[in-house]
Structure 1
Amino acid sequence: MPTLVCVNLERPAVLPEIAAKAAALVADYGASDTALLDVAFGRARAQGRLPFELPRSISAVEASRPDVPDDTEDPVFPYGHGLNL
C-alpha cells in the first residue's frame, strides 16, 4: 500500500528510512490538517523548497561543522530540494 508521510519540520530531521519506504514525503511547517488533506487528495498543489538539508544520519550531523550551514555529507535531501513554486 503506498504511504504518504507528513513530517513537521520545525528543525531538520534524520529520516532516511522513512523517506526510502514512503511513496511520498511531505514537509510540514505548520500547515493545517485541511491544507495537508487538500494536497494529499489532489485538491491543491504541493509547493516549496527545504530551507535546510535533511541529513542521512546522526553520525553525519555529529561530523559536520556546527557553524556552517548545509555541511553534512551526502544528505538525503539537500538544501533547496522540493517542488517549483
Structure 2
Amino acid sequence: MLEVASAVPAVVDIFLDRAAGIPEIADRAAALVADFGASDTALPDVLFGRAAAAGRLPFELPCSMASVAAGREDVPNDSGDPPFPYGHGIRLG
C-alpha cells in the first residue's frame, strides 16, 4: 500500500477500533480517512460527494509506538506531539 501511495495519489481508509501509529501512511496518502465501521456503500458515497461526512477522533493517533510506550498508561492522550490529536476531525458536505 505504501508503494502504491508513493507512486500515485491514493485515498487510504483505515478502520480504527483502537488508536494506531500511522505516520508513514499519513505522509504518503493524498487523503486519509478514519473509519469506525462505515459500510461498503457509505464510504464511496462520502468520497464521491454523494453524502456529507463529519467526525472527530475519540482518541489521539500517536506519532510512533515509542511515544506510546513512553506515555503513562493511566493518562489518556499523553503520547507527546501526536500528528492527529484527540478531537481532530473534519466536516464535509
| TM bucket normalised to smaller | over 0.9
**Structure-1 residue corresponding to 2:41:** 34
Q: Which runs of 4+ in 1 moved over 4 A?
A: none
| TM-score normalised to structure 2 length | 0.86
Q: Which amino acid aligns with 1:61?
A: V
Q: Of 47, 51, 65, which aligns to 1:44?
A: 51
**Structure-2 residue corresponding to 1:16:** 23
Give the CA deviation at 1:84: 4.0
Structure-1 separation of matches of 2:91 and 2:85 = 15
- Structure 1, unpaired ranges of 5+: none
Structure-1 separation of matches of 2:91 and 2:53 = 9
| TM-score normalised to structure 1 length | 0.94
Structure-2 separation of matches of 1:77 and 1:6 = 15
Give the CA deviation at 1:62: 0.2
Measured on the aligned residues, the alpha-carbon RMSD in Å equals: 1.2
Q: Secondary structure at the match of 1:47?
A: strand
Aligned residues: 85
Give the CA deviation at 1:83: 1.1
**Structure-2 residue corresponding to 1:72:** 79
**Which whole-Å deviations, capped at 9, do the CAs of 1:43-63 have from their partners, x for residues lacking one?**
112210000000000100000
- Structure 2, unpaired ranges of 5+: 1-7
Structure-2 separation of matches of 1:28 and 1:73 = 24
Structure-1 separation of matches of 2:64 and 2:57 = 17
